[in-house]
Amino acid sequence: MTCIVGYANGKTVWIAGDSLSVDTESMEVGTRIDPKVFQRTQGRTLWALGFSGSYRFGQILLHEVKLPSMSATDKTDLHKFLVTKFVPRLRKAAALGGAASNENGIETGGSILIGLHGMLFVVDTDFQVAVPSECMYALGAGAHFASASLYTSARLGHLRPDTDPIPSITLALECAEHHSGAVRRPWIIVSTPHR
């Protein structure tokens, strides 16, 4: 019950999300102060992160996963770095923290958007790491609406490396909120520049 949006212009990555919380048993709805989108630092590396799934999964991502150090070699292949160094730590922390499930040998957790060194990555519920073919992506129940809005903004020229993407990112979240009962303000937007 969320919408997380990511956009990368080659230099900076923005990740934004809503604040809705839904108790799936009672269907009680509210907003939360603890964010679905945040920044973390490891050494001199700034990460932008946004999650979809249980808040417990997000709390583990924010507070328990020890982000791996990044060598000069790691910077040349960020996808491999995430697959081989980040995901194993995430899986272990999620399993120990009770935020991963394992049914018939299939391990699952939440979904994550990651902004790292100017690139956007997706960690899916099965812990695979994807690199979107476009510079934008959305997760959660409102993803289809947000993705359509981002696509339209890009086609109209509002998402270019020389433009401020915040209005288009905000519009994508507003579109998801308008069309989905699973998305609600306030929005939280973080960014990480390429270093």
Q: If you count them, how many residues does the chain have?
A: 195
Strands 20-22 and 29-31: what pairing? antiparallel
Q: What is the pLDDT of residue 141?
A: 96
- The CA distance from 71 to 85, in Å, is 11
From first to last of its 195 residues, the chain has per-residue pLDDT tens of 799 999 999 999 999 999 998 877 777 888 888 999 999 999 999 999 999 999 999 999 999 999 999 999 999 999 999 999 999 999 999 999 999 998 888 899 999 999 999 999 999 999 999 999 999 999 999 999 999 999 999 999 999 999 999 999 999 999 999 999 999 999 999 999 876
For the entire predicted model, the pTM comes to 0.95
- The CA distance from 47 to 41, in Å, is 6
Q: What is the rounded (10 degree) CA torsion for 1, 151, 78, 63? A: -20
Q: What is the pLDDT of residue 26?
A: 78
Q: Let me know the angle formed at the C-alpha of 180 by 178 and 182, rounded to the nearest 5 degrees.
A: 125
- Which residues in 48-79 are b (16+ Cβ under 10 Å) and which e? bbbbbbbbebbebbbeebebbebeeebeeebe
Q: What is the pLDDT of residue 36?
A: 97
Residue 96 has a CB neighbour count (10 Å cut-off) of: 11
Choose the CATH number for 4-193 among 3.30.70.260, 3.60.20.10, 3.40.50.20, 3.40.50.2300: 3.60.20.10
Q: What are the sequence ranges of the domains in the chain?
A: 4-193
Which of 114, 132, 150 minimizes the C-alpha distance to 39? Answer: 114
List, in sequence order, every residue forming a beta bridge with 8; answer none if it has no partner: 13
Which of 31, 73, 71 minimizes the C-alpha distance to 55? Answer: 31
Q: What is the pLDDT of residue 1?
A: 78
Backbone angles phi, psi at 112, to 5 degrees: -135, 140
- The CA distance from 29 to 43, in Å, is 38
